[in-house]
Chain A
Amino acid sequence: MTRTPSRTGLILRHEFLHTIKKKGFIILTLAIPVLLLVGIGIFKLASGVVAPPPAVTRIGYIDHIGGFGPLYQPAGIELIRIESEAAATGALTRGELDEYFVIPADYVATGTVARYTLEKELVPPPSVASAIEGFLDSNLLVSEVPAELIGRVLTPVHISTTTLTEEGTVAEDQGGFTNFIIPALFGALLAIALNVSANYVLQSLGVEKENRLMEILLSTVSPRQLLTGKLLGRGAAGLLQVLFWAISIPLLLRLASATIGGALTSIQASPGLLVLGVAYFVLGYLLFAVVSLAIAAICSTVREAQGIAPLFTLMAIAPFWFISLLMFFPNSPIWVVFSFVPFSAPVLVMLRLGITGVPAWQLAVSMAVLVASVLGGLWIAAKLLRIYLLMYGKRPRIREIVRVLRAG
């Protein structure tokens, strides 16, 4: 016999090749960029080819105060004076008006106008509400203040924000929605990749246990070689998937910028962000993978293991459930705390990095907690594997597992 590669290397190679040849892996890897491409296509079609010409909304008004005129005419809105409610209702039902409103004689005292429309709606459309408000404001103020002032009252402020560094210079990263796109996408992909990769690891060990291969393997290699080979092999496949997305998605977004233009042209993905993204993927993957291995070890079938794993893997996508709260209060203490919870940290920190500046100490603590959790998880997983890998039948209860872990 000649010298052959290490057993860990052989297992790594087998797991990697076996994973990347799976139909599910190939479909998922290609699906994300393809879906993005389809989305860009649909946007282009919808905005260029099939977009309807802008329609003018005709709004009638009945003036019981007297003296109100069409001083304010925003784009897409035509305000038409009507003499009576009966005439307005007739015009509305004949389709000559889209809607109308009545300015009562006591409007200045009550601030209430009555609006009539044929549409069922939750609230008045913002463009209509803004037009009516502007119409009333401009008519009330016309005799009191100069015309320029009326214009400023109607559009009081446009806030232009510049983020400065600690040294007082203009910061390179100016934030905003365009800067949020890449971390948000990365966070979403990270959540998917962590779930998928952890599931691959779970399946890998689960299938071998279910198919009664475990004893054959353990009579050939050590548990350490088996686990290391699996973690690295399946992890390498997951990393390949993330890198494929990390390269293809910015390319597609650039393509989208060329065709859609606008905000997408200013999308940024700093090298620091990519490094953090890969670091959080590696740590997050290792954590979810060791948890998956431990679950697969105590379960007899893959299906049984897949029933338990989501208890942990769902925590990776949990930050997306609270995305609106996260966007408005990115530095709330609750997000800071969850940035230190190992299962939610990888995706949550990526999202926060897109919305706000995450202090270095928080990044350090979050990474340290992840590293400690991975090491602790490995210890627990190795112990459970040694005890339960060759056991079949009823799954042990949590109390029994705790007792076994304590017994050492």
Chain B
Amino acid sequence: MPAVEVIDVVKAYTGKVAVDGLSFSAEAGEVFGLIGPNGAGKTTTIRMLMDIIHPDSGQVAIFGETPSQATKDRLGYLPEERGLYKKLTVIETISYLASLKGMDPRTIEAKADALLEQTGMLENKKKKVEELSKGMSQIIQLVVTIVHDPELVILDEPFTGLDPVNTERIKQLLLDLRERGKAVILSTHQMNQVEAVCDRVLMVNDGRAVLYGALDEIRAEHRGHAVIVQTGTEPGAESAAEIPQVDGVVERRTHKDHVELVLDATTTPQRVLETLVEAGVAIDRFEIATPTLHEIFIEKAGAEEGLEVGGEAHDANAE
């Protein structure tokens, strides 16, 4: 049984369809990436999983059940718009929010201590939240999200505003959750993080799925008929610009440290490699060009929408 199953879900607000016939599933033991440009319908989708709003049509199932108070207790959710009680201490905040998740009050502190220790935050346990830095608060928010040991964890932009050390801590926590068989849904604009931790992804645009499947398969599907050649890292070797003309190459794209050669339909990468070796080019790297998720995102979402990050006052329901 999938941890999450969404079947043909539609949700509209006044004058705008936010989610339009969306279907996907996420399994236990995987990190599932939910990506898409601003306003694509990601937050609306997550809120339907969390039973905060209800779909107009279609089905949402969490561990095979319709979202309810019972399923809420099995979920941990870190929303994009998040905060903590500034006047409470870290442990008071964790205790209150964990108790609302149905956690036994007697076990909260020990579990909180373990997570605070794991994230390097134990010394801040009795500090008021307002005394913490933004990065520290983010870590505490994540601790609040997972302290009750949820089976499904949904994280909306968990890396925003974090320094590299804290980013690594969060990433490690995500991988730990996957190791322990939890289902993790990660919604973010940071494509490098998606590539680093996600097993499968769903990309939504205008409320519809435009990409769905295993990350490797998606990248393979979007692989163009081109090769990457890197030369010149050895002293005295030719620079990339000195790579000779090769028959069958219809376009040559020069990048900072490599050249991308686009081939015609009849030329194989094997043939290009043989030609370069015969020409005596010292090759440091030769690979079939595979687009990054970032490039696929831009291609799918459209350059204009894909680069529009942040903006004015956020109407959360409209997403």
Contact = CB atoms under 8 A, between A and B. Distances in A.
Interface stretch (A186-194, A253-261, A262-270, A386-394): A386-394
Given A216-B79, A219-B75, A394 B313 contact: yes
A219 B80 CA distance: 13
Interface residues of A, number: 28
Contacts of B105: 4
B313 A213 contact: no
Contacts of B173: none
Contacts of B47: 215, 390
A4 B102 contact: yes
A226 to B, nearest CB: 9
B83 A212 contact: yes
A385 to B, nearest CB: 12
A14 B84 contact: no
B49 to A, nearest CB: 9
A222 B317 contact: no
Given A216-B144, A391-B315, A1 B97 contact: no
Interface string B66-86: 000100100101010111111
B83 A393 contact: no
A220 B97 CA distance: 8
Contacts of B14: 407
A215 B81 contact: yes
A218 interface: yes
Nearest to A4: B102
A211 interface: yes
A213 B83 contact: yes
Given A216-B97, A219-B50, A393 B312 contact: yes
B275 interface: no
B42 interface: no
Given A216-B144, A219-B50, A219-B72, A392 B100 contact: no
B101 interface: yes
A281 to B, nearest CB: 27
B97 to A, nearest CB: 7
A4 B75 CA distance: 17
A213 to B, nearest CB: 5
Contacts of B77: 215-216, 219
A212 B97 contact: no
Nearest to B100: A220
Interface string A364-408: 000000000000000000000001001111100000000000010
A390 B79 CA distance: 11
Interface string B96-120: 1101111111000000000000000
A390 B82 contact: no
A14 B314 contact: no
Nearest to A11: B100
A44 interface: no
Contacts of B102: 1, 4
Given A10-B99, A212-B82, A220-B97, A391 B52 contact: no
Contacts, number: 82
B277 interface: no
B316 interface: yes
A219 B82 contact: no
Contacts of A10: 96, 99-100
A390 B312 CA distance: 16
Contact of B85 (A1, A211, A220, A390): A211
A1 B104 contact: yes
A211 B86 contact: yes
B314 A392 contact: yes
A217 B81 CA distance: 12
A207 B316 CA distance: 18
Interface string A1-42: 110100100110010000000000000000000000000000
Contact of A218 (B52, B83, B103): B52
A222 B314 CA distance: 23
Given A211-B86, A212-B82, A217 B100 contact: yes
A396 to B, nearest CB: 11
Nearest to B148: A1
A138 to B, nearest CB: 73
Interface string B211-247: 0000000000000000000000000000000000000
Contact of B84 (A7, A213, A222, A390): A213
Contacts of A164: none
A215 B82 contact: yes
Interface in A188-230: 207-208, 211-222
B208 to A, nearest CB: 23
B85 A391 contact: no
Nearest to A2: B104
Interface string A243-279: 0000000000000000000000000000000000000
23 contacts: A7-B69, A7-B100, A10-B96, A10-B99, A10-B100, A213-B83, A213-B85, A215-B47, A215-B316, A216-B82, A216-B144, A219-B51, A219-B77, A220-B72, A221-B72, A222-B69, A387-B317, A390-B47, A390-B81, A390-B316, A391-B316, A392-B81, A407-B14
Given A212-B83, A215-B81, A220-B101, 7 more contacts: A10-B100, A207-B86, A215-B79, A216-B79, A218-B50, A219-B72, A392-B313
